[in-house]
Every structure is written in structure tokens, then in C-alpha cells.
Amino acid sequence: MMGAGHDACSIPPPASRASGGEGGERSEPGGGLAGNQRSVISDQRPTDILITVSWPLIPVHPPPLTPPRHSLRKWGEGNPHTVRHSAFFAAAAFFIIVCCLNALAAEIPQNDRRSGTAFMTRETQAMQEDDRANPGMLAVLDGEALWNDAPPGAKSCAGCHGDASTSMKGVAARYPAFDEARGRPIDLEQRINLCRTEHQHAPPLGWETRELNALTAYVANQSRGMPITAGTDERSRPFVEAGRALFNRRQGQLDLSCAQCHDDNWGKRLAGSTIPQAHPTGYPEYRLEWQSIGSLQRRLRSCTFGVRAEPLAYGAPEQVDLELYLMWRARGMPLETPAVRP
Amino acid sequence: MTQALVNVPAKAKRGEVIEIKTLISHPMETGYRHDTNGKPIPRDIIHTFVARYNGEEVFRGDLHPAIAANPFITFFTVATESGVIELTWTQDHGDPVTQKANITVE
């Protein structure tokens, strides 16, 4: 669950200098206290930074990670380092406790789950709630036009599906959904493009194009207020687990997993922004930062850039697994498309 | 493509203060950005917004490049008599756009 980084939990902090990231070694060749603090920050989950409180109590040259056998034998036999060592072991014990607490704190309890809306200012919430002020509604209306618009020589979406307000009601709440033919889940954008290529014989719409986002927003808008059910079926289960593994995997130059922000530190601030809980309840959503509507995959790629990892390609199976896991996390929460986010 | 969402109350009492909301679909390209080849992207913004109530101008605004895409313009006016509220915006590229909404004053 915690990934490789958490193996470090079983050993006291100075170990991270010996076994930890090469980056730390390169940038702090001299070692010393600054080096220890640095490696503590880079190798532990953010909540473990607590440990730095106890570190300055330890002399500038802390004892080696695994005290040599002879020093253990001498412990309590008038060794002048006894006081120093007991401080060291107290810190180590404290550290292990912190690690255990983290292990327990992993996933957000059902009752503490909140939509990203809850973390926004009242003004942005008002913008989302008022359909005449929500800029995402422009995309929904564009999507409605596209729904009724037939590509040359083919039926329109409405030609087969009829009135979206009945035929598409509840559909977005169960996506990404398992696709029999592909043997894996696909998201709503992929479903729309499959419909285009297989039934309308039209070229697929590009990722993040106005058209694809608009159609997706229109379809998803039909399920507004309905509880999310994605990932709750048995066949999706392994893919939910794959997404969960990805969510908990450290990545990028910052060596952070999604969970370290969105499970462990939600509600706190990352620079000027509140860290939400990663419940994708309103996609495609209008981000004021983007000045446009965008998909969940776009958002995931932004986060990946944020930890300085190589972003996954649009439509990559891993992206969809992650989308599926996030929707499963938000199961039972009402869909808000088109949401407005800061 | 949708051009705008205009919200004018269909009915109002005489003398009532009413709110008129306009959400316009527009890129509001600043003119300060460059494309991937380094070529400047020409400015394309809505620069003037005018509201007329039965032909009389009741609100006017000048917009500048710092306004975000899809501008939302809202203002208040007093419902005097039944008629038409006409909202017109002028942009760098393309013709001015006018949207009309009827209001009944009792």
C-alpha cells in the first residue's frame, strides 16, 4: 500500500542518507544536520516531517544508523554516549509510531469524503451552482448541438440514442465502465469516440478538443446529481486495484505519490491552493486556471507535471485505471458536471 | 456553437431593480502570447459591451486584454416598462453580436 518509500519506515531517519535517494547524496556531499533534514523530507511522506522536530535535539554528528554491536553491549555500562543514544532510540521509536499512524490514515474514511466544491470559495461555488453563470454550461450547450448534428452520411447521436435527457441519464455516473470487446474499462471520452468510429464511421475526435469535451460534458450533465457507481462491478475490480497502486506509487523528481497530497494532506495548502481529496465528481469541468473546460485526464497530467514526472499519454490504459480508481473513491457522491474549479 | 447565455427576468414589477447576466463564449486572446513557432497570436477580444433598454443605453463597458476567456458581465437596472433589452458586444474579429430579450413589466 505504501510503496517502496515506506520500507524506510522501519529504520531510523539517518538511514535515508545511506540508503536513500541519490539526489540527496549529490546535493549534500558534506552530510551533517542539514543533510539529514533534507533526506528526511525527501524520503518520508510529508506528515513524517514531524520527525524533524526531534532531530535538532540530536548532536550535529548523529550516531550511525545501526549502532554497532559493541555499542549496544556497552549500553548502560557508563558509556558516555548513553544519553545521546537514548535520545536517538526515542526518536526512532517516535518515528516508527508516526509511520504506523500513517499506514492507518491511508484512505479517507467514507464520512470524511468531500467534493472539491467544498474546498472552494463561496463565489466560485455560486458560479458553479448558477447555470447562467457557470461557463461550463457553454460547453454543455455546444455538446447539445453536436448531439443533434449528424456527420456526413451518418446518423446523429440523437438518431440512435434519442433524447439524451432520458437515454443518457445515469450513464456518466458509471464511467469508466468495463468494455466487453476490449476486456478492460474505457472512459466516457473513449466511449464517445468508439461510437463515432464504429457506428457513425466518422473520424474520432481529438483529446481535449472543444468538440469532445463538449459532447462529454453534455452526456455527463444528464447524470448531474446522480450517485457515482463506477468501479463497483466485479470485472472492474482488478483495474480499480491497478489504479490504486498507481495512486500510491511515488513518482517524478519530487518522488511523491498522489496519496501523499490527496489522502494525507487534503484540506491543507500547497502554495496558495487548498489540496482537495481527489474525488473527480464534476468532469469535464471548467477550470478558471485553464479558462476552458477540460477532462479528468488533462487534470491528471497537470498533477503529473506538478511532481515532475513524465505524464501519461491521453488514453493510456494507466490513465483510465487511475480515472476508474478515483471515480470508485467517489462512489455514492453526486455527479456535478460541469463543475467549476479554481 | 453557443455564443452567449443571457439571463433577463421575463417579468418584473414597475420600479423593481433587476439583474441582467450575460455569459459570452469568447477566447479573449490577449495579443501578448506567441505560438510554438514564436509568432505572435493576434489580439482577439471583446472590447465594447453595450446594453440598451427600449433603445436607451443603460449600461456600457470597455473590456481589455486582462479579462479572462468567456467573460461574465452582470449589471442592474430599473424595470420601467415592458419592452426589449438589447445586448451588443463588439470584438476585434468578426461582426458585432446582438442578443435580445423581452421583459414584461406589470
Q: What one-character-per-residue DSSP string does A283-299 give?
A: -SEEETTTTEEE-HHHH
- Predicted local confidence at residue A272, as pLDDT: 87
Examine the domain organization and report whether A137 and A203 are in the same domain.
Answer: yes
Does residue A110 lie within any of the structural domains?
A: no
Does residue A187 lie within any of the structural domains?
A: yes
pLDDT in 10s for each residue of chain B, 106 residues:
668 999 999 999 999 999 999 999 999 999 999 999 999 999 999 999 999 999 999 999 999 999 999 999 999 999 999 999 999 999 999 899 999 999 999 9
pLDDT at A247 over 90: yes
Neighbours of B10 (CB within 10 A): 8
Does residue A112 lie within any of the structural domains?
A: no
Q: Where residue A45 falls among pLDDT bands split at 50, 70, 90?
A: very low
Does residue A183 lie within any of the structural domains?
A: yes
Q: Where residue A97 falls among pLDDT bands split at 50, 70, 90?
A: low
Domain boundaries, chain B: 4-105
Least CB-CB distance to B5: which of A138, A145, A288? A138
Domain boundary among A104, A138, A163: A104
Alpha-carbon distance of B56 to B54, in angstroms, equals 6
pLDDT at A34 over 80: no
Examine the domain organization and report whether A226 and A315 are in the same domain.
Answer: yes
What are the catalytic residues of A?
A: 303
Say if the Cβ atoms of B23 and A288 lie within 8 Å.
no
Does residue A111 lie within any of the structural domains?
A: no
- Predicted local confidence at residue A96, as pLDDT: 54
**A126: amino acid identity, one letter:** A
Residue pLDDT, tens place only, A203-213:
999 999 999 99
Chain B neighbors of A288, CB-CB under 8 A: 68
Examine the domain organization and report whether A159 and A34 are in the same domain.
Answer: no
Does residue A47 lie within any of the structural domains?
A: yes
SS3 A198: helix
SS3 B106: coil
Chain B neighbors of A217, CB-CB under 8 A: none
Q: Which domain holds residue A122?
A: 117-341
Residues A23-32, mean pLDDT to the nearest whole number: 35
Chain A neighbors of B28, CB-CB under 8 A: 291
Question: Is 0.80 topped by the overall pTM?
Answer: no
Give the A-side interface with B, CB within 8 Å: 127, 131-135, 137-138, 141-142, 145, 288, 291-292
Pairing of strands B83-91, B46-53: antiparallel
Examine the domain organization and report whether A156 and A70 are in the same domain.
Answer: no
Alpha-carbon distance of A173 to A334, in angstroms, equals 8
CA distance B28 to chain A (A): 10
Residues A278-288, mean pLDDT to the nearest whole number: 96
Domain boundary among A55, A78, A104: A104
CATH number of the domain residue A316 falls in: 1.10.760.10
Least CB-CB distance to A138: which of B21, B28, B70? B70
Neighbours of A277 (CB within 10 A): 21
Q: Where residue A43 falls among pLDDT bands split at 50, 70, 90?
A: very low
Can you identify the CATH homologous superfamily of domain B4-105?
A: Immunoglobulins (2.60.40.10)
Does residue A261 lie within any of the structural domains?
A: yes
Residues A206-224, mean pLDDT to the nearest whole number: 96
Percent of chain A with pLDDT over 70: 69
Residues A143-166, mean pLDDT to the nearest whole number: 94
ipTM score of complex: 0.90
